[in-house]
Amino acid sequence: MAVALLLTANATGCSTSPPPTNAQVLARPYDIDVPAGYDKTKAYPLIVLLHGYGANGFVQDALFGFNALADARGVFVAHPDGTLDTTAKRFWNADDACCDFGRTGVDDVAYLNALLDDVIANFNVDQKRIFFVGHSNGAFMSHRMACDASARVAAIGALAGDVWKDASKCNPASPVAVLQIHGDADAEVPYDGSSLEPSAPQSVATWAQKNGCAAELVDTGSALDIDNTLAGSETQVARHACTSGAAELWTIKGGQHVPNFKMPDWGNDVFEWLMAHPKP
């Protein structure tokens, strides 16, 4: 079942856990979709879904269709909110490119780690299958979590957002599987990069280097149909050969910054990729 809660006692009918004690989670409550028929004796995967700049967790969950995914595929989906800036837009402090424009210095890595601690304390989470998925600013933040919290992040899916331009600022302690998804007609976060962010292929190449993968990005010859506005199977799949972690690029040919997702294919495609990349 999809529910919204601040993990208070009996808030969902599915949990009798006490209220969170971590100050960061108390100050910034989050929503979580609990799979239907949740059985506390069974460990479930967890996806943390991060919204784009100016959006919020509820909107992102609806846009991606992950609330339905929670029930259909038996996975927790947490979708927190970033901090409000001076223009009343929510953001994540991910990296130089995006999106703490007011230079508040809010530590979103610490907040998201606190969120993970809270979910794990209240639900039976498979800690080898903790994933981050984000769009735009949320994709930048997903990369940041892979860089800074690699010990607990199995894989990320980043739509239209990149890793650090300066790759030396990303220092994972262990390999992370990374799926970069990007429309090559994106006018907001350019596929080919800018002075602030690397190109989509460069982001994937950074992760190939961090994970010890082969240097060459190889077109697999396969394609996916995830955008309703584009004809045929418009999304090209390419990857670096990896023995640990992963570095894969899905290029949406003609894709814009906010794709018109084909449901439920989009969510199922991302879900299958994530579940194929647990922590060893």
Q: What is the pLDDT along the chain (280 residues), one digit of tens a residue?
A: 444 344 332 233 333 334 555 888 989 999 999 999 999 999 999 999 999 999 999 999 999 999 999 999 999 999 999 999 999 999 999 999 999 999 999 999 999 999 999 999 999 999 999 999 999 999 999 999 999 999 999 999 999 999 999 999 999 999 999 999 999 999 999 999 999 999 999 999 999 999 999 999 999 999 999 999 999 999 999 999 999 999 999 999 999 999 999 999 999 999 999 999 999 9
Q: What's the N-to-C CA distance of the chain in angstroms?
A: 29
* Contact between residue 9 and residue 18 where contact means Cβ atoms under 8 Å apart: yes
* Contact between residue 270 and residue 250 where contact means Cβ atoms under 8 Å apart: no
Q: Tell which residue, 143, 232, 221, 129, has the closest CA to residue 182.
A: 143
Q: Where are the domains of the chain?
A: 2-275
Tell me the backbone φ, ψ of residue 181, rounded to 5 degrees.
Answer: -120, 130
CATH class of domain segment(s) 2-275: alpha beta
Indicate the residue type of 152.
Answer: R
Tell me the backbone φ, ψ of residue 246, rounded to 5 degrees.
Answer: -165, 155
What number of other Cβ atoms are within 10 A of residue 137's Cβ?
28
pLDDT for the residue 16: 31
Query: Which residues are within 8 A (CB) of 117 and not within 5 positions of it... i.e. 6 or more apart?
Result: 22
Indicate the residue type of 138.
Answer: G
